[in-house]
Amino acid sequence: MTRVVTAGSAAEIASVDCFTGRLLRIDRGAESILEDTKTFPETPLVQLCAAAFCLYGQTRTADQAGIGYLKAAEPMLGIFDRTRTVAPSRVDAVVL
């Protein structure tokens, strides 16, 4: 099954484009994606970009913040199977 992750508006797409451009250039202002998660809480792509930003921090605190954004995106993506209780959540396993 293929799932397409997209955005609902030009503003959401601009937020993601701005972040990815700054991140690729290692440019100032990439942290603005964190504020954008408040503006676009229903957009998984924005949440995933915020998680990526946090995970670049490579500290326990940054990792925990990144996990928070991954967990926020998780129900919107609908790709994780919560019925499996044997293995830890895939979101938690990303950083472990």
Would you kindly state where each structural domain of the chain is located, as residue ranges? 10-93
- pLDDT at residue 63 in the model: 95
Per-residue tokens: 86: 């044997």
**25-81 pLDDT, tens digit each:** 777 888 999 999 999 999 999 999 999 999 988 899 999 999 999 999 998 887 655
The Cα–Cα gap between 63 and 92 comes to 10
C-alpha 81, offset from chain centre: 18
- The string of pLDDT tens digits covering residues 75-88 is 888 765 555 444 44
Cα 40 versus chain centre, distance: 12
Q: Is the pTM of this model over 0.85?
A: no
CA–CA distance, 74 with 90 (Å, rounded to integer) = 10
3-state secondary structure of 78: coil
What is the rounded end-to-end Cα distance, in angstroms, of the chain? 27
